[in-house]
Structure 1
């Protein structure tokens, strides 16, 4: 019998665990290493699968990535649900973009023109039509837009399912994977080939290939100077979680992405009555929660949905998302080095891009020949290359 390929995945967020799941499905033996599995940026994320809503001016290069990954989500979810035998938190409900003022509606209208020019479907609504879809919206809103193709997933439920799928006993999907709660301090090298990683406790793990998905922690992993072009910065975001009080009906059915005097706010309703309210973006280097950010989110959420004031506030937290200079992720091999793949820099798109980028990372890590790639994969990998020109 041939030896099973050994793979190491550094990082147990949605990017790393999804890549580990793809590698396991290919029959590889996978070890995932993270000092706090599932509790980084993915733990805080709202989970909007918003390939349309996230389109902004002058960000043309990321659109094919977003659209391809959103299109892959139903099959990704279906395969994962078959593996674990239960739902993974995916909801196909639509998204409403809601403007609090005429100026906010005008901003959404300009953005809708960009989205339609890119072949996306956005339906403009009157105030009455918008509130008919979501009666909890404030009577004073100025208008809305319906985006049927933007959905959501609960990242925490997804992370638990991915962990379960990676670590399930050996079966049709390959050898049982392992998750180690430890920090990687360096990669191991034999000349121009990465052969594994060294852990903070001194242990050494060897593998045929290593996938680095540690978010902003990539800077703390030594031994890979060839990856100096990977330029990451921490973009912190405050985010809240609330819950409908016992015995009360659901506040919203659809995700509401709003503008209030130009400030962005969203409310993402879960099937179990939870509502995620987010999220600020700041680059002040502060890891804790910003009181100003929390105040802004609570105020603007209630301006759009007054009934949000009756929710039970259950969680306030902040996390650093890995940002890049051009807002594109880094996904690819490291120039001049074999045996290692970098997958990071997903900023606010980590959950959306998980199915596509994890599949591509697994293909690169396994050394799959070009015929195993989809027709557009090479173009997408050129976009995310570590050697790209910003």
Structure 2
């Protein structure tokens, strides 16, 4: 599916700042939406507003960490009261399994999904650190009998694991790899470096030399796979292989393909930000295009409640194989954190500009405190 060619050129006189202003206009009620999702009983955040009054749903780990990532990126962490911070720390610490060291929701099947175990570990550790706290129990790998790191113990075991990823879907395969970040960091230094080098070399062996992408899928799916590779490389301070080719095909995708998923807003922008230093920066005319198209695309995901939905006019009920909501026409954390904590800050950084404060910033801390107190 393709846009008209008007997507490829800037409107007369349109600047990077014009695009950023249009993007900011979408966040008019965002900070009023966030406190409505806090669970005063358990201490975390629900995924969407309709989840707050359904008995099968509870506040969950990914939504809570997504909320805190957005609050932090928007510069609002200092306004979060000590009592709310303590509630969130307690929420995460209570969900760490003392035997395995992983973090699991209590109300769903996330412990059965390997990819989610790694994701939840990554985001829980990051959020606890953000709040000046630590896990209560040993992490995976700190017990010598831990079988969950078996695929990382040797080159042969990791090669077999890499081969077994679902390479027909570039994003899914490389999300599996990126989800190993926290586990790899638990290995001895020499073994860490060996596994990181092995993972990058393996993906390089699968890359298309023309586009830089590895694995199968539609243009946005293969782009999203390269985005996961870029995050993995950035986490370990390694260059992204075929960076110039990936950038060129990413720009082509942004300009020509229909953006039908809010993740497809975040993935190319953060990918471009990782690639920019490697390829010598982004030309201003191309950045103006990226910002303008991103603002237009983002407007399609804005919902009346002030949040953003994962799909156009519909939240994704099961954003990562686990059901967290009803899939109604409403904002959800899977999309909203992409826009607030990833897309907007990255575009401002690429533009060399400081993010302005959003409406309701001055009232946010007290509104969240009141929500946490059940008022």
**Quick check: TM above 0.5?**
no
Q: Which structure shows the higher strand fraction?
A: 1
TM-score (norm 2): 0.22
TM-score, length-scaled by structure 1: 0.22
More helix by share: 2
User: Higher relative contact order at CA 8 Å, sep ≥6: structure 1 or structure 2?
Assistant: 2
